[in-house]
Structure 1
Amino acid sequence: MLDKTVLTIGILAHVDAGKTSITECLLHHSGTTKSLGSVDKGSAITDGLTMEKSRGISIKASSVNFSWEDSLVQLVDTPGHIDFSAEVDRSLSILDGVILVVSAKEGVQAHTLNLWESLIERKLPVIIFFNKIDRAGVDVEHVFLDFQKDLGAKLFALNYPDVSNIDNPKLLSFTNCSNHTDSKILEKSLENLAECDETFLAQYLEGETSDLGQVLKKGKQNIKTGGLYGALFGSAKLGLGIEELLNSILTFIPQPKSDYSTAAAKVFKVTFHEKKGKLAYLKVYGGTLKSKDVIRSQRLDKGIKINQIFKTILGDLVQCSELHHGEIGVVTTSDSILSGDILGSENLNDHYSKISKAVLGVQVIAKDVKKYQKLGEALEILNIEDPILDFKWFKEEKEFHLKILGPIQTEVLKENLIQRWAIEAEFQKPKVIYKETPSKSAEGYVRYWMPKPCWAIMTFLIEPAPLGSGISFTSNVRTSDISNKYINEVKRAIPWSLRQGILGYEVTDLSITLIAGTEHTVHSNPGDFLLATPMGVLKALENAGTDLLEPMYAFEIKASQDLLGPISSDLNQMNAQIDAPVFDNDFFILRGRVSVAAAMSYSIKFNATTSGKGRLKLVLDGYKKTSITEDKIRSYKGVSPLDESQWILHMRGAFKADDRKSK
């Protein structure tokens, strides 16, 4: 057993807030590294990829360890760009607490809001670090108060930034701030403390706040209980506030309580190593995980063997024999293992909402036709590393399709293919991924009874359902007509029957009822109902016709009042639904709804209009019906169940292939 407290801390921020620089400072200040790594020079330990070094941004989440006092801190540095937010989602599921970095120059930005919503939903302890206080033009009071207002958080400043001389900024500990108690930062901190601490409220109203040591003690108590959020000021560039941050991690992030008696672990990242093959990054939640152990994979519902175990030490993989409770490590196994997999018998499921939701699709084409097969294999590997890509290989059409979060992700994928596999690929223009829903109620009849032995006869009724309601299935057929074992096969086939509808998109928001059907006592088998269900469902959809649903963004814009006219004009041109503006000093706030198709590239124009000083937050906000035009319709990929003879031949071949595999 480890004799140290083990904490897993994530460091999160909007891009360019200085997250990776702070990570390098923490490593250096704790004595883990001899020299200070630099993002600008490409020597940051957590930016190990060539692309990260050249671009100066984090693309993949990475974990580094350091010791401080009697604790082992496992720091997970996450990407700040919204295009890589799937990495953040996967990391959030294993964290004990978070350092949220905000640039004191730019303040709260769009992605800061996204991150905050996820942190609040998960109820993770958070320390806010206002970085870059050394930058010219910084208004520390404004950024502190703005954070509170925009995020609805009660902050308590644990130190005070004296930026009266910007060439020589200083930090004062809270107890040495007696000359600054009239500053808005300290005024607001005391006011927040009074609101959540009755004992202090009486002192506050009486003006008895001169004992800053006692005030700090009460502030810390309320941060620990979640009434307040601790805030620190500093500068990674100058090394200011780093020791206070290290101490705050140990003070305010509690040791996780969940300790399972049996071995339990969660996989949060999968990568492919040139020599070691597939590597699974996981966190142990209970027991001890040893090399050569066999542990149950809940997804596979079978035991998998752990071959080797590694720890990441300053970016290098170092082999070890075991991992203890709370530790992050890397394992190899010859079995299938994916990000999100839970090992062991404990319930470690993550049901929280995700920051990353892909609604853009791209087709990928090998520039050299001879590398078609190699490109497909490379994309399969990238999809295992990042499941949000949802890679589809349509072999009949020889097409590769991915889902993406944004254009920067496409550029990185392109570089990845060149650097790792020497494949030059063309990514076509991203297209919005629509959905379909039935236009009206209709029935679909299927009779699959030739060539024998086979028998599955069914009639499906499909009906439109409210937007956002998803899919429901019920059977009104008596078990004397179709037995439960066959009904279960019908249920199993419903999701993949709806992957592509009449217009080429996933079908949703409908109810499906099996209203009639028969089995045959001699000729029926489960595979018949699995094969026939898509034929009946697609026939019903063809009879009903389908409407297109387009994805929508909820937007929030904050910008200078003199830009209200041009920004409103842009939104009107995009046919956005706009709420009445809210005015806040020299700024306005606009909220509303706009289609993803219309707003796909608006952020570039918005940044130009506001000279990078405005804030545009776009969050996926359901779907709404839209017009059907030729450019939106997609052809069915693969063999369509409506082409009955081809579908039967195709599926019978697939079943035979499955039989061969299982033998």
Structure 2
Amino acid sequence: MPSKTVLTIGILAHVDAGKTSITESLLHHSGATKSLGSVDKGSAITDGLSMEKSRGISIKASSVNFSWNNNLFQLVDTPGHIDFSAEVDRSLSILDGVILVVSAKEGVQAHTLNLWESLIERKLPVIIFFNKIDRAGVDIERVFLDFEKDLGAKLFALNYPDLSDPDEPKLLSFTNSGNHMDSAILDKSLENLAECDEAFLAQYLDGETSDLGQVLEKGKQTIKTGALYGAIFGSAKLGLGIEELLNSLSSLIPQEKNYLSTAAAKVFKVAFHEKKGRLAYIKLYGGILKSKDVIRSQELDKDIKINQIFKPHLGDLVQVSELHHGEIGAITTSDIVLSGGVLGSENLTDPYSKISKAILGVQVIAKDEKDYQKLGEALEILNIEDPLLDFNWFKEEKEFHLKILGPIQTEVLKENLEQRWAIEAEFHKPKVIYKETPSKSAEGYVRYWMPKPCWAIMTFLIEPAPLGSGVSFTSKVRTSDISNKYINEVKRAIPWSLKQGIHGYEVTDLSITLIEGSEHTVHSNPGDFLLATPMGVLRGLENAGTDLLEPMYAFEIKANQDLLGPVSSDLNQMNAQVDSTVFNADFFIIEGRVSVANAMNYSIKFNATTSGKGRLKLKLDGYKKTTTTDDKIRAYKGVSPLDESQWILHMRGAFKADER
């Protein structure tokens, strides 16, 4: 078993806060690396992808290990761009604690708010690192107090930057900062501690706070309870605050005590390695996992074999014979496992997961037609690595379609295809993925009785349901007319039947009732009702007609009051719904809803409008009905169940619509 306490720490940040630089400083300061990696020079260990090196941002979650004060830290460096937020969410589920990095220059950003909400919901211990204190124009008091105000967090400063000489910034420990610490930061830290500690409250009210050593110990004890959050100022570039951060990780992050007795693991990432093949990155929550072991895959509902086990080591992988509880490793297996999967019999599902389905679709084509097959196979691999891409290969039309979260993702995918497979691909302009819902109630009748042997006759009642209610199915047919084994086929076919409606989009918010039907004692066979259900459901939707539902953003905008005019003009142009406008000192805050289609590229325009000084927070917020126009409708991909003769031939194997 590991002789050291094993802790998994996430490092999260908004773009360009210096997160990867802090990671490299932690590795170097702890002695894990001999030289300091640099994002700018492309030598950062955790930015292993060449795209990450060239862009200077983290794209895929990566893990590195280092030791400090008899603790083994597994540091998970997660993406800082919203287009890769699914990677962040998967990583959050395996963490024991978090370093949240905020640039002392730019302060809290919209993505910081999104991250904070997830961290608070998961009740994860968090240490805030205010980075880049060496930057010109940094206002440490403002960034500290704004963090508290914007995020509703109670902070306790564990050190203090002395910026009296701008050419040589220094750090003072909490106990040595009494004569230097800005009164607002010290006062706020003491006030926060007093609100959380009744014994200290009496001292605070009596003015007995001169013993900063005692105050610091009380502050640390309160941080451990989660009532306060420790804040450290520093500069990864200059190595300032790194040792304080290491010591805080060792002393302030609670150690996991409740390990499971049997082997159980969670898959948080899947990646293809050039030499090692498909790897599933896991965290082991109990027991010991050895190569050649057999373990249950809950997702596949079958036992799988562990072929090889690797541990991350300074940007590389080292083969080992076993993993112990708390450890992160990469495994090769006998079957494909996907991100978010659970191995073993324990319940390790993530109740806090906020991974949103992508709401933009994009078509991908190979620039050189000879790369068509190769591109399809490469996209299948990328889809295994990130199932949210929801890759569809429509082989009859020879089209590839992906779902994405934003434009940066398409650029990364394009570079990925070029660098890993030498494929030049072209990505069409992303389009919003709408949904459909019935316009009114209607019936759909299907009679599948030729060519024999077959028999499945059904009538479905299709009814609209409230927005956001999803899909419900009930059967009112007597089992003497259709037996349970065939009703179960109908149930299995319902989700499949609703993948594409009459306008080409997934159908939701409806009630489907099987009201009449019959089987035949001689001619009905397994699969008949599975085949017939989409024909009946689609016919019902055709008779009902469908409305389009468009995805919506809830937005929050904060900017200087002199920008109210331009921002209001932008919102009017986007037909945004403004729910509230609040004025606070020199700022205004506007909240409301806007369609994804109208706001798809607004973040770029907003940054230009506010010269990068405003804050825009966008969060998916359900759907609403929209007008159905020709530019929104898309053709049915593959063989439509409404083309009944072709559908029957296709399903019975007379021809394959998916022949490559």
TM band (smaller chain)? over 0.9
Q: Does 1:50 align with 2:50?
A: yes
Name the SS of the counterpart of 1:85 in structure 2. helix
Question: Whole-Å Cα distance in 2 between the matches of residues 555 and 230 of structure 1?
Answer: 29
What is the match of residue 126 of structure 1? Answer: 126
- Give the drift of 1:579: 2.9
Question: Whole-Å Cα distance in 2 between the matches of residues 492 and 250 of structure 1?
Answer: 51
Change beyond 3 A, Cα 1:460–1:344: same
Question: Whole-Å Cα distance in 1 between the matches of residues 164 and 614 of structure 2?
Answer: 26
Q: Which amino acid aligns with 2:160?
A: Y
Name the SS of the counterpart of 2:527 in structure 1. helix
- Give the drift of 1:585: 2.0
| Cα-to-partner distance string for 1:266-308 (whole Å, 9 max, x where unaligned) | 1111111222211111111111111111111111111111111
What is the match of residue 492 of structure 1? Answer: 492
What is the match of residue 374 of structure 1? Answer: 374
- Give the drift of 1:644: 0.8
Whether the 8 Å CA contact 2:502–2:541 is kept in 1: the answer is yes
Alignment of 1:306-385 (within 5 A): 306-354=306-354, 356-385=356-385
Change beyond 3 A, Cα 1:305–1:416: same
Q: Does 1:509 align with 2:546?
A: no
Range that drifts further, 379-388 or 249-258? 249-258
Q: Which amino acid aligns with 2:483?
A: S
Name the SS of the counterpart of 2:337 in structure 1. coil
Q: Which amino acid aligns with 1:54?
A: S
| Cα-to-partner distance string for 1:203-222 (whole Å, 9 max, x where unaligned) | 21121111212211221121
Alignment of 1:227-626 (within 5 A): 227-354=227-354, 356-626=356-626
Question: Whole-Å Cα distance in 2 between the matches of residues 627 and 316 of structure 1?
Answer: 52
| Cα-to-partner distance string for 1:605-632 (whole Å, 9 max, x where unaligned) | 1111111111111111111100111000
- Give the drift of 1:180: 4.2
State, as a whole percentage, how many aligned pairs show the same letter.
87
Question: Whole-Å Cα distance in 1 between the matches of residues 328 and 182 of structure 2?
Answer: 45
Alignment of 1:105-124 (within 5 A): 105-124=105-124
| Cα-to-partner distance string for 1:300-322 (whole Å, 9 max, x where unaligned) | 11111111111111011111100
Question: Whole-Å Cα distance in 2 between the matches of residues 124 and 38 of structure 1?
Answer: 29
Question: Whole-Å Cα distance in 2 between the matches of residues 182 and 327 of structure 1?
Answer: 41
Question: Whole-Å Cα distance in 2 between the matches of residues 378 and 295 of structure 1?
Answer: 29
Q: Which amino acid aligns with 1:610?
A: T
Range that drifts further, 251-260 or 49-58? 251-260
Whether the 8 Å CA contact 2:650–2:656 is kept in 1: the answer is no
Question: Whole-Å Cα distance in 1 between the matches of residues 597 and 416 of structure 2?
Answer: 27
- Give the drift of 1:523: 2.4
Range that drifts further, 33-42 or 649-658? 649-658
Whether the 8 Å CA contact 1:360–1:431 is kept in 2: the answer is yes
Name the SS of the counterpart of 2:653 in structure 1. helix
Change beyond 3 A, Cα 1:271–1:237: same
Name the SS of the counterpart of 1:306 in structure 2. strand
What is the match of residue 661 of structure 1? Answer: none
| Cα-to-partner distance string for 1:110-136 (whole Å, 9 max, x where unaligned) | 110111111111111111111111111
| Cα-to-partner distance string for 1:350-390 (whole Å, 9 max, x where unaligned) | 13242554111100011111111111111111111111111
- Give the drift of 1:654: 9.1
- Give the drift of 1:657: 13
Name the SS of the counterpart of 1:304 in structure 2. strand
What is the match of residue 86 of structure 2? Answer: 86
Question: Whole-Å Cα distance in 1 between the matches of residues 357 and 603 of structure 2?
Answer: 17
- Give the drift of 1:484: 1.9
Q: Which amino acid aligns with 2:598?
A: A
- Give the drift of 1:561: 1.2
Q: Which amino acid aligns with 2:122?
A: R
Question: Whole-Å Cα distance in 1 between the matches of residues 240 and 136 of structure 2?
Answer: 16
- Give the drift of 1:160: 1.5
What is the match of residue 159 of structure 2? Answer: 159
- Give the drift of 1:258: 3.3
Whether the 8 Å CA contact 1:163–1:169 is kept in 2: the answer is yes
- Give the drift of 1:31: 0.5
Range that drifts further, 601-610 or 500-509? 601-610
Change beyond 3 A, Cα 1:36–1:276: same
Change beyond 3 A, Cα 1:413–1:226: same
Whether the 8 Å CA contact 1:160–1:177 is kept in 2: the answer is yes
Whether the 8 Å CA contact 1:114–1:355 is kept in 2: the answer is no
- Give the drift of 1:522: 2.6
- Give the drift of 1:348: 0.6
Question: Whole-Å Cα distance in 2 between the matches of residues 140 and 653 of structure 1?
Answer: 69
What is the match of residue 179 of structure 2? Answer: 179
Q: Which amino acid aligns with 1:124?
A: L
| Cα-to-partner distance string for 1:567-626 (whole Å, 9 max, x where unaligned) | 100110110011342122222111111110111111111111111111111111111100
What is the match of residue 69 of structure 2? Answer: 69
Change beyond 3 A, Cα 1:25–1:421: same
Question: Whole-Å Cα distance in 2 between the matches of residues 424 and 656 of structure 1?
Answer: 28
Structure 2-normalised TM-score? 0.98
- Give the drift of 1:183: 1.3
Question: Whole-Å Cα distance in 2 between the matches of residues 561 and 657 of structure 1?
Answer: 58
Q: Which amino acid aligns with 2:372?
A: Y
Change beyond 3 A, Cα 1:478–1:355: closer
Whether the 8 Å CA contact 1:357–1:620 is kept in 2: the answer is no
Question: Whole-Å Cα distance in 2 between the matches of residues 160 and 654 of structure 1?
Answer: 75
Question: Whole-Å Cα distance in 2 between the matches of residues 85 and 78 of structure 1?
Answer: 9
Q: Which amino acid aligns with 2:635?
A: S
Q: Which amino acid aligns with 1:634?
A: R
Name the SS of the counterpart of 2:331 in structure 1. strand
- Give the drift of 1:329: 0.6
Question: Whole-Å Cα distance in 2 between the matches of residues 38 and 425 of structure 1?
Answer: 30
Cα RMSD (Å) of the superposition? 1.6
- Give the drift of 1:181: 6.0
What is the match of residue 188 of structure 1? Answer: 188
Question: Whole-Å Cα distance in 1 between the matches of residues 66 and 101 of structure 2?
Answer: 19
- Give the drift of 1:328: 0.5
Name the SS of the counterpart of 1:358 in structure 2. coil
Whether the 8 Å CA contact 2:15–2:80 is kept in 1: the answer is yes
Question: Whole-Å Cα distance in 2 between the matches of residues 118 and 265 of structure 1?
Answer: 22
What is the match of residue 205 of structure 1? Answer: 205
Structure 1-normalised TM-score? 0.97
- Give the drift of 1:243: 0.8
Name the SS of the counterpart of 2:134 in structure 1. coil
Structure 1 unaligned segments of length 5 or more: list them. Answer: 659-663
Name the SS of the counterpart of 2:336 in structure 1. coil
Name the SS of the counterpart of 1:178 in structure 2. coil
